[in-house]
Structure 1
Amino acid sequence: MSEYKEIKLVKRPVKGQIDASLFSTEQKQVPMPGEGEILIRQTHMSLDPAMLGWMSEDRESYIPPVELGEVMRSSGVGEVIKSNHPDFSEGDKVMGMTGWREYLVSDGKGFNKLQPGISEEMALCVFALPGLTATTGLYKFGKPEAGETLIVTGAAGSVGSIVGQLAKADGLRVIGVVGSDEKADWIVNELGFDGAINYKTDNLKAQLDALTPNRIDVFFENTGGPVQQLIVNRMNEHGRIVVCGMIADYQSDTPSPGPNWIPLIKKRISIQGFAMPDHWGEIPQLLEKLTPYVQQGKIKYRAHIIEGLENAQSGLNMLFDGKNTGKMIVKL
């Protein structure tokens, strides 16, 4: 019988650093599914910033950490190779929590079939965590209204790019904060954002003021960093701040100080942090909301593909170094 690879977490990150010593690669025999089970061959695996939190010894987070000795957690897309389950057939493409491994056996819970015409890349870039997170945060907590101004950090990332496009389709003025001129060009000229700020350039306040003549109503926060306080100070009364991620601080010994709270009082600004595990039960409604935008061609995406499960760790580091140019996906 043939073998497959799986990668387990064997050490916790120190000071947020991700290196090969944290993982152990094992060769195993491909298992056979039992009654009511399916055998899945994973073909595409998602890499996400949240993985650093999952590796860490944080028992108070929104999801328990990956235990040492367990297969590293991830979502992915695969093909059903053998089925003893009435709801799945051999050849079905399915998406769910797969882990860092080439094969897995499942009872089918948590796995959904890809609809015809949906590629593996589109599934992971749009209909998996990125699109679900963007839709939840924007509409449940951002409450956008046509004519308002929205700013999103990490705007070229998998979540931020969808947030901006949804808001633009709904008639908002949309500004994105990114980490390179290439990413700025992409979100403006390809995705249709009204403007972009490269946070690595000078005169951030002047750029922000020029791009937000009517100030800011909705702030979708993915990154943290120095631009955060400038954005908060630029917000309108009754503005909404949606806190989805703080990637700038995930590997920092000392997190950046937050904005002064006086503007929050003066302007009666609301702040809401959120995480998708609280909203798994809402996925059918979220997809119902998101799908028409995709069908109408209003959501574009790009994937950054790396080849081979053995390169997952280096690909994950690319996310924190800002070297990715799209949703990070490992093609197995």
Structure 2
Amino acid sequence: MASLPSTYKAVHLANRPKDHIEADTFTVKQHQTPSASSLKDGQVLFQPNYLSLDPATSIVRGWLNDSRSYIPPVKIGAVMRGVGVGTIVATKSSKFNVGEVVYAGSGWSELAVLPEKDVEKLDLPSNGKMTDTLATLGMPGLTAYFGIINVGKVKAGDFVVVSGAAGATGSVVGQIAKLKGAKVLGIAGSDSKCKWLVEELGFDEALNYKAKDFAKQFRASTKQLIDVYFDNVGGEILDLALARAKEHSRFVMCGGISQYNTKNPQGPKNYLMIVSMRIRMEGFVVFDYEKQYPQAKKELARWVAEGKIKRQETIIKGGIEKMPEALRALYEGVNTGKLMVEVKQPVEAGKSKL
């Protein structure tokens, strides 16, 4: 069993971004590796193999900017907030063993000392994998589940439109809607993503919002009008959806990634449609449903095991230093499915002496 290096790296917030994520937004620092003897009772030393990037569930820009939100922003100089799946490399907890693979909020760091209460054991279906905990069986999947079922109240016969449909959350939203008997139109950023949505995930139709005649295509594809709109992007697509909303439609406001990196975010121009069509537009945060996580995870795991929910990952390799680059890539929409960074290959992780 190889020893851990004497130091480890972590990504710290250096400056609050005014507009785009810049090179000086984050800085990488070296830290002394904690010894096993330095752990207190009930603590573990966690080594992430994969770290997650998902703005729809994390509202990452809310963590970066000092503005009112459901969770305080990251302080300047602090390790950037984040969650990952990885390995226990040292423990003073009776609940976790060295070498055990777990889920934890470690931040953007190669190592993290954590209390046992902040660490979760994995509970995967037979065909599951550790990275599912960051995707379909984690916050993106839970966000999709509660958003489309509890907020959107999807039912058989509904016409559902999902923006950001090829992302970790949107792709699950569409598949759940199909399982509930709805017709689903997905909006994504490339022809290949649209093909994946229809041919692999079973969406009824998908449109590339980068097409020159996208607005015309959207109006043609929504002639029957929208019952449920699941919004991950905001901006112009939200305005188009408002114009095609059915009376008493439900708009699930999950995120607005198209607006996170803009100096002057665009609000809806067609907001009067909310009045005339009696639209219910509701925002939500997945943490509101924490008490219902076990049942939701059980149902999501069953759908994955039965092959009813398919998933795809985009993994950026290169270690912890790739986290800022990966965050920029997320806003640019380079990913299909779940985006994550491989901090350390699982085969290299595991039981390490300190």
TM-score bracket, normalised by the shorter chain, equals over 0.9
Aligned equivalent of 2:259, options 249, 263, 266: 249
Contact 1:5/1:101 (8 A) holds in 2: yes
Q: Which amino acid aligns with 1:9?
A: L
Query: Is the Cα–Cα contact under 8 Å of residues 21 and 261 in structure 2 kept in the other structure?
Result: no
Which residues of 2 match residues 62-141 of structure 1 at below 5 A? Answer: 62-115=70-123, 117=126, 118-141=128-151
| Matching residue's letter, 2:243 | N
Paired residue for 1:40?
A: 46
1:1-332 to structure 2, matched below 5 A, reads 2-15=6-19, 17-31=20-34, 32=36, 33-49=39-55, 50-58=59-67, 60-115=68-123, 117=126, 118-307=128-317, 308-332=319-343
The residue type equivalent to 1:136 in the other structure is: F
Cα distance between partner residues in 2 of 1:170 and 1:29: 51
Deviations 1:175-203 (A, max 9, x none): 00111111111111111100011111133
Q: Is the 8 A contact 1:302 1:327 kept in 2?
A: yes
Q: Aligned AA for 1:62? A: Y
Counterpart CA distance in 1 for 2:184 and 2:207 is 11
Partner Cα distance (1:37, 1:271) in 2: 43
Structure 1 residues 14 and 262: alpha-carbon distance in aligned structure 2, compared to 1, 3 A threshold: closer
Letter in 1 for 2:91: S
Report if aligned partners of 1:80, 1:90 keep a CA contact under 8 Å in 2: yes
Distance 1:36 1:317 in 2: 36
1-side partners of 2:24 and 2:213: how far apart? 41
Q: Secondary structure at the match of 2:135?
A: helix
What SS is found at the alignment partner of 2:99? coil
Contact preservation (8 Å) 1:125, 1:302: no
Q: Indicate if the aligned counterparts of 1:43 and 1:79 stay in contact, CA closer than 8 A.
A: yes
Q: CA deviation at 1:24?
A: 2.1
3-state SS, counterpart of residue 305 of structure 1: strand
Gaps of 5+ in 1: none
1:272-315 deviation per Cα after TM superposition (whole angstroms, max 9, x unaligned): 01122333333223213322222221111111111111111111
Tell me: CA distance 1:37–1:270, structure 2 relative to 1, closer, same or farther (3 Å): same
TM-score by length of 1: 0.95
Unaligned runs of 5+ in 2: 344-354
Write the deviation string for residues 201-257 of structure 1: whole angstroms up to 9, x where unpaired. Answer: 133343224323422100000001212222112121111000000111111111213
Deviation at 1:120, TM superposition (A): 2.2
Q: Which has the higher contact order (CA 8 A, sep 6+)?
A: 2
1:42 to partner: Cα distance: 1.0
* Runs of 4 or more above 6 Å deviation: none
Distance in 1 separating the partners of 2:155 and 2:40: 51
Instruction: Report the Cα distance in structure 1 between the residues aligned to 2:267 and 2:222, rounded to whole angstroms.
Output: 24
Write the distance in 2 (CA, Å) between the matches of 1:7 and 1:203.
41
Query: Aligned residue pairs: how many?
Result: 330
What is the rounded CA distance, in whole Å, between the counterparts of 1:315 and 1:145 in structure 2?
36
Counterpart-to-counterpart distance in 2, 1:252 and 1:145? 35
Q: Distance in 1 between matches of 2:90 and 2:336?
A: 35
Q: Is the 8 A contact 1:149 1:174 kept in 2?
A: yes
